[in-house]
Amino acid sequence: MTPMKEDYLKIIFELGGSHKKVSNKDISLGLGIAAGSVTEMVSKLADEQLVVHEPYAGISLTPKGEKYAAELVRKHRLWETFLVDKLHYNFADVHQEAEVLEHQTSDRLATALDNFLQHPKACPHGGVIPSASGEFPEVSRVLLADAKDGEKVTLERFLDNHELLTYLEELQLRPGDEVTVVRHEPFEGPLVIKKAGADQPINVSYKASHNIFIRADK
Amino acid sequence: MTPMKEDYLKIIFELGGSHKKVSNKDISLGLGIAAGSVTEMVSKLADEQLVVHEPYAGISLTPKGEKYAAELVRKHRLWETFLVDKLHYNFADVHQEAEVLEHQTSDRLATALDNFLQHPKACPHGGVIPSASGEFPEVSRVLLADAKDGEKVTLERFLDNHELLTYLEELQLRPGDEVTVVRHEPFEGPLVIKKAGADQPINVSYKASHNIFIRADK
DNA sequence: CAAAAAAATTAGGTTAGCCAAAGATCACAT
DNA sequence: ATGTGATCTTTGGCTAACCTAATTTTTTTG
Ligand SMILES: [Mn+2]
Ligand SMILES: [Mn+2]
Ligand SMILES: [Mn+2]
Ligand SMILES: [Mn+2]
């Protein structure tokens, strides 16, 4: 298994390949690789029983491919956690480093890292860390953008994009923060929220509010 | 710069390419790559001004190549130190992991690791860790095998070979240990030494004694 | 010093991935 | 139901590394 094949599996996983068909185009866009190259690689992954490919219909992970992808996500997120917790990286900068380290991480190393970090549940952006055996719980797919005015919610996960994370770091927002939605300004204006305990409201851009997943507080 | 090119530079460095010419054969043996392939890669490295190659005469590093190689050795040894000190690997097992991690280590990551480890001077096998700018001090080239009977010496560095290191771990020998040479048994028999403070002598195989470098105690 | 052995280089061929462009298929709006 | 644009696959070609085998150069040895 090569690093590139691993990245294909991982993006298929991230695009929902465990429960639905993923398009060639989305993979092509996600990896920045020409569509023709994607078709070629996908057919190799299909030969290895890691994905199922119905030409012109879409691509999904086999159980084997899903397990492999989840283990990669685990390694990726363990590294991100290490970099933030131990090496004091800021959380916008860890993705790039983890993106390459993940491919050079033996199962033994992953286990040792997990112990060292005391079994973290989630990465710095709130992404759940799959178990060593490749299991992962369901995650929220509710967007902050879709919360109602007045609702009190917990920020669960930020999409792993450098610009977004830099922006959120400036706004001093973190996964786990409890916030109250004040109002949605019209015409794709910002979402105004208030952090629990704070007096100043925070403007979250329309676009950012569509890249943050939340959990409704009980 | 690809991982393979990096490994070429590193082995040339380790074979003495900073101060002498290295043979095609030694590189071929060291990397387990066919001699013809070595010639081909060396000529690419020469194009990039990283090595000087005189056909049929040998290969040596340019200042630029030496700096690059030293930075790789630094990254390699920082990882080895991390694995032993923080993740509790035994010192025979770290080389393999470091061999791949070294190629995915940004300068920023190396600096962060170095801080986290509190600026270690040497790796777990006693190899000096070059500075961030690629400087490295002279190292001992005196073999334990060449110490005189009765001499008191410090074990400085073990060659990084899994079998050797496993063997030395069993003998409970570590870089930094002070030992007295008792006698050289004839016909390639073991070297008998005694650790400072211990009563039992230790037999070190003839072969092992040729893979350990020492510093004479003052 | 010449023949044999060893080492290095050159030549020809393979594989993994990538791309651009051409051709096939699909989806949807008239 | 058909035409058009979007998407997907196929084709042909490229580069980086690797290999084996043949050839050339250097070194060693009788
Ligand atoms: Mn990430
Ligand atoms: Mn990756
Ligand atoms: Mn090593
Ligand atoms: Mn390496």
User: Domains in chain B and their CATH numbers?
Assistant: 3-61 (1.10.10.10), 144-216 (2.30.30.90)
Between A and B, how many residue pairs show a Cβ–Cβ distance under 8 A? 32
The overall average pLDDT reported for chain B is 96
A103 touches chain B (CB under 8 A): yes
pLDDT exceeds 80 at position B95: yes
Instruction: Let me know: does B79 contact B98? Beta carbons within 8 Å.
Output: yes
Model confidence at A31, pLDDT cuts 50, 70, 90, reads very high
Tens digit of each residue's pLDDT (9 = 90 or more) over A75-101: 999 999 999 999 999 999 999 999 999
CB contact B97 to A (< 8 Å): yes
Q: What pLDDT does A35 receive?
A: 96
CA–C1' A78–C15 (A): 33
Residue B217 predicted with pLDDT over 80: no
**pLDDT at B218 exceeding the cut of 70:** no
pLDDT tens-place string over residues B150-191 = 999 999 999 999 999 999 999 999 999 999 999 999 988 999
For the segment A123-150, the average pLDDT, to the nearest whole number, is: 94
Q: Which of residues 104-123 of A touch B (CB under 8 A)?
A: 104, 106, 109, 112-113, 115-116
Long-range contacts of B105-113 (CB under 8 A, 24+ apart): B105/B75, B105/B78, B105/B79, B106/A97, B107/B71, B107/B132, B109/A83, B109/A87, B109/A97, B110/B71, B110/B74, B110/B75, B110/B78, B112/A83, B112/A87, B112/A88, B112/A89, B113/A87, B113/B78, B113/B79, B113/B82
Give A91 Cα–ligand 1 centroid separation in angstroms. Answer: 9
Average pLDDT score over residue span A165-180: 96
Q: Is the pLDDT of residue A218 over 80?
A: no
pLDDT in tens, B138-154: 888 999 999 999 999 99
Identify the pLDDT of residue B22.
97
The pLDDT, as a whole number, for residue A58 is 96
If DSSP codes are grouped into helix, strand and coil, which group holds residue B163?
helix
Query: Residue B37: is its pLDDT beyond 70?
Result: yes
- Are residues B101 and A103, on separate chains, in Cβ contact within 8 Å? no
